[in-house]
């Protein structure tokens, strides 16, 4: 079965990961811009990163038959440096027009600070001005509920924001409902330790259905597993979900969200079924 990993940091992964993902049916990935594990310190460093995301990584992925798309932003951790963040925000439009750039992301909150809020809002503003999709990172720690609530309030308070053009990522049992109820897409991040396991993700599907829900591995430089999407697929099957349900969750839903992007450039190997619209 084909699948898409809609949130994975391939710059942190080795080439063998692409090989293993391709063997398991991965046909496309989308890679949001994120924190490198250290503060980059200059806008020039972000230029290099955006080039890596939009030039090098799509070529590396293509060698294994995987289509690579990306998202651009300055992440919440580096948003504490407001002047630097503003320099980065100013240069993002230069890179937005590159093929396969789906929008602004992953923007959001980390420790729910004032500076994070300011930079989050300025990036939402950029997305509105440039008519881009938004991918949102929600906090991982004990502040998750509060941070998610703050983000949802900011987004729903802005009448220009169309919820169907926003993905709220890293949802868990206590944050998925408010995101879905407000009309947003919800992403469940499958992680070996924190966030959500494949089985917990299946629980959420059984509770909340398959509309506007997707899963991702968020494979990155920490303890993470780029094979978590195939594990999710197996968990769904083991719990008795039929082919159409699994296909919708791991392939059609991310595709349907991405297709709204101006520069979406994947020719889907299997066309979307009108039935599941
Ligand atoms: Zn991420």
pLDDT tens column, 38-67: 999 999 999 999 999 999 999 999 999 999
What's this model's pTM, rounded to 2 decimal places?
0.96
CA of 49 relative to ligand 1 center, distance in Å: 15
Average model confidence (pLDDT) for the chain? Answer: 95
Give counts: helices (H), strands (E), the chain. Answer: 11, 8
Say how far apart CA 80 and CA 214 lie, in whole Å: 30
CA of 237 relative to ligand 1 center, distance in Å: 26
Residue 143 has pLDDT above 90, yes or no: no
pLDDT confidence of residue 277: 45
CA of 82 relative to ligand 1 center, distance in Å: 21
CA-closest candidate to residue 200, choices 180, 181, 175, 179: 175
DSSP assignment letter at 216: E
CA of 107 relative to ligand 1 center, distance in Å: 10
CA of 138 relative to ligand 1 center, distance in Å: 10
CA of 274 relative to ligand 1 center, distance in Å: 30
CA of 179 relative to ligand 1 center, distance in Å: 18
CA of 275 relative to ligand 1 center, distance in Å: 31
CA of 132 relative to ligand 1 center, distance in Å: 18
Say how far apart CA 195 and CA 274 lie, in whole Å: 33
Q: Which of 183-187, 250-254, 270-274 has the lowest mean pLDDT?
A: 270-274
Residue 255 has pLDDT above 80, yes or no: yes
Say how far apart CA 110 and CA 76 lie, in whole Å: 6
pLDDT single digits (tens) 213-238: 999 999 999 889 999 999 999 999 99
How many C-beta atoms surround the C-beta of residue 267 within 10 A?
6
CA of 75 relative to ligand 1 center, distance in Å: 9
CA of 219 relative to ligand 1 center, distance in Å: 8
pLDDT confidence of residue 133: 98
Q: Which of 70-84, 147-161, 189-203, 216-230 has the lowest mean pLDDT?
A: 189-203
Tokens at residue 52, please? 């890596």
Determine what percent of the chain is predicted with pLDDT higher than 90.
Answer: 92
Element spanning 67, H or E? strand 67-72
Element spanning 182, H or E? none
């Amino acid at each position: 079965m084909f699948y898409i990993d809609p949130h994975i940091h391939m710059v942190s992964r080795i080439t063998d990961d692409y090989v293993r993902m391709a063997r398991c049916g991965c046909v496309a990935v989308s890679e949001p811009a994120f924190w490198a594990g250290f503060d980059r310190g200059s806008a020039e460093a972000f230029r290099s990163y955006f080039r890596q995301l939009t030039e090098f990584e799509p070529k590396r992925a293509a060698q294994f038959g995987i289509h690579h798309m990306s998202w651009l932003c300055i992440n919440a951790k580096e948003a504490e440096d407001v002047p630097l963040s503003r320099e980065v925000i100013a240069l993002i439009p230069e890179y937005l027009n590159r093929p396969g750039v789906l929008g602004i992301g992953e923007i959001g909150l980390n420790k729910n600070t004032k500076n994070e809020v300011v930079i989050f809002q300025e990036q939402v503003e950029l997305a509105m001005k440039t008519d881009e999709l938004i991918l949102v990172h929600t906090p991982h720690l004990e502040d998750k509920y509060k941070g998610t609530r703050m983000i949802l309030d900011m987004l729903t308070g802005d009448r220009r924001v169309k919820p169907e053009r926003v993905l709220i990522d890293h949802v868990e049992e206590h944050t998925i409902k408010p995101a879905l109820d407000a009309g947003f897409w919800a992403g469940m991040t499958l992680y070996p330790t924190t966030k959500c396991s494949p089985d917990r993700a299946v629980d959420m599907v059984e509770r909340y259905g398959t509309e506007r829900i997707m899963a991702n591995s968020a494979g990155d430089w920490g303890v993470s597993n780029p094979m978590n999407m195939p594990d999710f697929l197996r968990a769904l099957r083991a719990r008795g979900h039929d082919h159409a349900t699994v296909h919708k969750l791991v392939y059609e839903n991310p595709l349907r969200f991405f297709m709204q992007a101006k520069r979406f450039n994947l020719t889907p190997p299997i066309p979307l079924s009108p039935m599941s619209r």
